[in-house]
């Protein structure tokens, strides 16, 4: 993995380690939601069509909300308030899915909108924050980002011991998923406050709306087309694979594995 070394300044290993830890706790929550979120909603009575409709909400909002939060953090000249707010908000919004009464699908869609507004931009802004820091102080982005993969895997391994091993389970069996998600999100919101802003406030360039036109250039369209295809292909996988495993009798403790 190529290293980003700043022409001036020195590498701060202790600060870089804190960015790696931030990826760790952030992706721990992503894993729990990604593997068990739709499975919980299926057990609460949603049909395949309703789950498909619901999954389009983060797909569409995920193309817009990172830009808006990026503009906000640029206007504030700091990534820290936005990252703190996003992680803290999702820690309190996500448990509302647990208390959804199963009657109003529209209510569930609105809840997904509120959750996605704060959830979808977190990783893109974390990447931007990390790259800005490494651009000034140097370091290996791949090494830091790999801690996100470790953070994704460990809660999955822990689910082997926490979740039920029975082949048939109900929605209430997934309560540890909601507790774990909120706990990791609260931890990451607090951890964000320990990270340094990547540049002095007067030196960070301010993004303007006219810069968004750059996304319409031919190179940008070609560059992002594979990302679109990847999202298109993996959408059904993330939505329905854990449900398929449930239907063929794989226990909750083994779905993550």
* CATH number for position 145: 1.20.1250.20
Burial 98-136 (b: 16+ CB within 10 A, else e): beeeeeeeeebeebbeebbbbbbbbbebbbbbbeebbbb
Q: Do the domain assignments include residue 7? A: no
Residues forming a β-bridge with 120: none
Q: Do the domain assignments include residue 180? A: yes
Residue of 29, 120, 121, 30 whose CA lies nearest to 74: 121
For 128-180, write each residue's pLDDT tens digit: 888 888 888 788 888 889 999 999 999 989 988 998 777 677 888 999 999 99
Query: Averaged over 216-220, what is the pLDDT?
Result: 81
Reported as type and span, the H/E element at residue 171 is none
C-alpha to C-alpha distance for 19 and 123, rounded to whole angstroms: 12
Average pLDDT of every residue of the chain? 85
Query: Averaged over 23-41, what is the pLDDT?
Result: 94
Helix, strand and coil content of the chain, in percent to the nearest 5, comes to 75, 0, 25
Q: Do the domain assignments include residue 161? A: yes
Q: Do the domain assignments include residue 214? A: yes
Note down the domain range covering 176.
Answer: 13-255
> How many domains is the chain built from?
1
Residues in the chain: 257
List phi, psi (to 5°) of 4: -100, 105
């Amino acid at each position: 993995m190529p290293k980003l070394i700043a022409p001036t300044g020195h590498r701060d290993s202790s600060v870089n380690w804190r960015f790696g830890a931030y990826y760790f706790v952030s992706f721990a929550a992503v894993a729990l939601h990604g593997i068990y979120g739709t499975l919980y909603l299926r057990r609460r009575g949603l049909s395949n069509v309703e789950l498909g409709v619901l999954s389009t909400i983060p797909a569409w909002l995920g193309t817009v909300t990172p830009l808006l939060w990026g503009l906000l953090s640029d206007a504030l000249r700091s990534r820290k308030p936005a990252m703190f707010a996003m992680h803290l908000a999702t820690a309190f919004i996500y448990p509302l899915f647990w208390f959804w009464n199963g009657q109003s699908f529209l209510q569930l869609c609105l809840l997904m909108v509120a959750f996605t507004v704060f959830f979808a931009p977190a990783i893109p802004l974390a990447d931007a924050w990390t790259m800005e820091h490494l651009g000034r102080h140097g370091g290996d982005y791949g090494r830091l980002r790999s801690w996100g993969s470790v953070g994704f895997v460990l809660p999955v391994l822990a689910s082997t011991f926490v979740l039920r091993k029975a082949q048939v389970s109900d929605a209430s069996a997934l309560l540890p998923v909601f507790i774990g998600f909120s706990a990791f999100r609260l931890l990451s919101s607090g951890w964000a406050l320990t990270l340094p802003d990547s540049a002095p406030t007067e030196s960070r360039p301010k993004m303007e709306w006219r810069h968004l036109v750059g996304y319409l250039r031919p190179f940008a369209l070609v560059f992002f087309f594979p990302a679109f295809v990847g999202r298109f292909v993996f959408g059904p996988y993330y939505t329905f694979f854990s449900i398929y495993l449930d239907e063929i009798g794989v226990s909750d403790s083994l779905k993550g594995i």
